[in-house]
Chains A and B, each alone.
Chain A
Amino acid sequence: MAAAEPLQEAGRFDGDRRRTVVLLCPDWPVSAAAHEAELPASRPAAIFTGNIVTACSAPARRVGVAVGQRRRQAQQRCPELAILRPDPGRDARLFESVVHSVGEVAAAALSVHPGVLTVPASAARYFGSAPTAERILAERIVTAVADETGYESLLGIADGLFAGLIAAARSARVMPGGTPAYLADLDVGQLNRPEVPEFSGRHELISLLRRLGLTTFGAFAALEPAAVAGRFGADAARAHRQARGLPDTPMGAVRPDVELAVETVLDPPADRVDMAAFAARPLAERFLSLIAGRSLTCTQVRIEAHTDAGDVSVRMWRAGASFTAADIAERTRWQLDGWLSGASTGSAPNGPITGLRLEADEVTSPAALQPTVWDDKREDDERVRRTISRLQGLLGMDTVLAGTLVGGPDATGDTRWTPWQQAAPVPRPGPWPGRLPSPHPAAVLRRPAELIDGAGKPIGVSARAELTGRPARLRTGSAGTESPRGSTPRGKTEERELAAWSRGWPVAGRWWDTAADKRIRLQVLTVDGDAFLLGYRAGRWSIDGSYD
């Protein structure tokens, strides 16, 4: 088992990739509801869920209305308060027009949640060099939203979504690399971001931090990450990363190397949103099992719908850490709702929807310990996380490992072991021609061996990948063993008589091989029923696997 590898491709997550433009429509549910009710923006308005204020507009706030108030309380402060009802479908539908207007400026616009969208700052490269280009991009986005939709919006730029959200709320642009310093003085109360459900619900954590005397992001950030994860749980660990200005998208999220997509044909074609949304649910389930089957979690999904007339609607959606099929189906419905009603583009498609497609635009490994798409989220996952932290505290990070099947020419090189709670490696793109099919060796070893014929002569491999003799015996333990717990005692030579062997299979070049590194694989079976996978490289045999 190989020791942990350093975080792969660390450079790719720095700089450009993390730098994010965040557009925030403040109090979006209220704006959307007021727009639908055709109320003027200056009229104080609030959304009530049941009898409680769950969102209110800036004019309402100014006269003392606040989230959490009862209806009578709010009306006492503001008798002319417009009372509006929550409707997530409406919020999403109307936000489509905002996404569309931003999409005209920067195609990579990504819906995070109704009211919040992001654009990778790299989109600014068309406008010249940073930082001027970023300013031009920001201006164009804000202008496009104001001109085309009339909604009020705020914009911020920082490293990562979370910091960008804070920057947007204060209309700030944080210079590259300056995010941790920018956040350090903020009050911990800011950790709770009601605009994005994933970052909300942190009141308990915040009050706990205050009781501990940690009132600023900086003070919280100074805690040991392992201690935070172990004692306060996964979301606190995430908040902690965010407070430190680290990327809040799951660690190691990358664009998949292979196309991970599912699609479906709608027959009969759907001319209503609910019909298409009905088909989206099983499609989303298929999509999630495709992703989960590769030990991945999707963090960014691209939803496409098309008609026979050639109209296409494409949107990217940020997929939360624990997205379910219902969440993806809901986003599909939001998107189609906006499209079919013509709210987003100004013109509805010609004809009914005939096809839906979901594609993973960005994936990460669940071993990064984000809550994942596991179908039955069990409560003990959180407990397991704590146990792992505790063990890592006792024995060291590198002793508690998570395995990822990354792919490879055979089962002896297709696994990467990394410490739990660290970014997991990303699967390497296949296909792997000539990969040995199942069964795979139950034990992966690397132990020197010799293959000898009936006369005791060592067997090698010819230039045409053929064995130079007829194998009769397998000799092991001639040199020091690498795996301390093998069945062969260290240093003792042992010869096993062979009953059967395969022909030599050349290994189609591994990416780390040099030209001289030609490799042959061979399966052998001893007379007493033990089977081994042998490897031949640089003129030497080794036992690479045992079919124990």
Chain B
Amino acid sequence: MSTTAAELAEQFGLRTASGPLAGDSALPVHAALAGLFRGGALRRGTAVSVDGRARLSLAYALAAEPSKRGYWCAVVGVPELGLSAAADLGIDPNRLIALPDPGEQWLRAVSILVETVDVLILAAPAVPPPGGMNRLHAKLRERQAVLICLGRPLPGTGAALTTRGPHWHGLDAGAGRLRSRTIRVAATGKLARPGTAVVSLPGEDGTLGRALPAVS
């Protein structure tokens, strides 16, 4: 497989026959979100940010596909982690390491974790110093892990996802219950494919899905 072909494929977001052979250079993404990433997958060694309403669900959903396939995930700095929701989206609790409160040493903990974990969800307690961030990116590349940052993109983020217009279905004034949410996810950044995906996150069974055409 020539590098040029891979580069071209990535630039135009094409799936090539050699894509599957490239194997481990990317982690899978749910079909409803795949269109937002160049190559249709999470490129290993890079960082993605998720911001806006439902960012936590979106982060779980991104980590879910790798987790379903047996990769390890870690969640750092999220004491409110809702495991039932994460499990509904597909995260395997048996392969989830949670550091709810890493404290001052969070950057060090993250760089230890990326040595073995494939996907890491991070709510950074503070803006890291530039040197620390560069070292983290270098480590991500070396260890081929994917970092998912909650909130504003950290420097060096390859794809930034933001959500718009959440719309919940099923709840009225004094009746019904929350059943599903439709939300628009937009992507920017050099590893993103510009565009918007309309997804149900979560759908009625707590999973991620492609949203039906909006009925408003």
Contacts and interface: CB of A to CB of B under 8 A. Distances in A.
A506 to B, nearest CB: 14
B109 A525 contact: no
Contact of B175 (A372, A502, A546): A502
Interface string A379-407: 01001101110110011000111111100
Contact of A395 (B87, B94, B102): B102
Interface stretch (A15-23, A250-258, A437-445): A437-445
Contacts of A405: 83-84, 87, 93
Interface in A436-478: 436-445, 467, 470
Interface in A350-373: 366-367, 372
B99 A441 contact: no
- Name B's interface SS: mixed
A151 interface: no
Contact of A1 (B98, B166, B179, B203): B98
A441 B177 CA distance: 13
Interface string A402-429: 1111000001101101001000000000
A439 B93 CA distance: 17
Given A387-B116, A529-B53, A531-B168, A367 B94 contact: yes
Interface string A260-298: 000000000000000000000000000000000001000
Contacts of B84: 405, 411, 414-415, 438, 440-441
A232 to B, nearest CB: 17
Chain A interface size, as a band, is: 35 or more
Interface string B80-124: 111111111000011011111111010011001101110000010
Interface in B31-65: 53-57, 60
A444 B177 contact: no
Given A443-B82, A501-B174, A402 B97 contact: yes
Interface in B168-193: 168, 171-181
A25 B61 CA distance: 53
Contacts of A546: 80
B183 to A, nearest CB: 9
Contacts of A548: 53-57
Contact of A529 (B72, B101, B117, B168): B168
Contacts of B142: none
B99 A399 contact: yes
Given A383-B116, A400-B99, A402-B98, A501 B70 contact: no
A127 interface: no
Contacts of B101: 399
A165 B179 CA distance: 56
Nearest to B172: A500
Residue of B72, B105, B178 with highest tally of chain A CB at under 10 A? B178
B117 to A, nearest CB: 7
Chain B interface size, as a band, is: 35 or more
A126 interface: no
A503 interface: yes
Interface in A521-535: 523, 525, 529-531
B66 interface: no
A65 B62 CA distance: 61
Given A384-B72, A438-B204, A502-B175, A401 B56 contact: no
Contacts of A387: 112-113, 115-117
A503 B72 contact: no
A383 B167 CA distance: 42
Residue of B55, B125, B172 with highest tally of chain A CB at under 10 A? B172
B178 A391 contact: no
B28 interface: no
A503 B146 CA distance: 42
Contact of B112 (A394, A438, A486): A394
Contacts of B128: none
Given A442-B56, A500-B171, A502-B176, A485 B80 contact: yes
Contacts of B112: 387, 390-391, 394
Interface in B191-216: 202-206
Nearest to B93: A403
A446 to B, nearest CB: 9
Contacts of B98: 1, 400-403, 417
A44 interface: no
A1 B205 contact: no
B99 A445 contact: no
A378 interface: yes
Interface in A474-522: 483-486, 500-503
B93 A404 contact: yes
A439 B202 contact: yes
A323 B3 CA distance: 43
Contact of B80 (A383, A401, A443): A443
B13 interface: no
A441 B57 CA distance: 9
B77 interface: yes
A194 to B, nearest CB: 31
Contacts of A404: 93
A1 B78 CA distance: 9
A298 B82 CA distance: 26
B155 interface: no
Given A440-B88, A484-B79, A529 B173 contact: no
Given A470-B174, A483-B79, A503-B175, 14 more contacts: A380-B116, A386-B116, A387-B115, A394-B108, A399-B101, A439-B206, A440-B82, A440-B85, A440-B88, A441-B82, A442-B56, A444-B82, A531-B171, A545-B82
22 contacts: A374-B70, A387-B116, A394-B105, A401-B98, A403-B81, A405-B83, A405-B84, A415-B82, A415-B84, A438-B205, A442-B85, A445-B80, A501-B171, A529-B166, A529-B167, A531-B168, A531-B171, A547-B54, A547-B57, A547-B168, A548-B54, A548-B55
Shortest Cβ-Cβ A-B pairs, 8 listed:
A438-B206, A411-B84, A443-B80, A529-B166, A440-B84, A439-B202, A548-B56, A440-B85
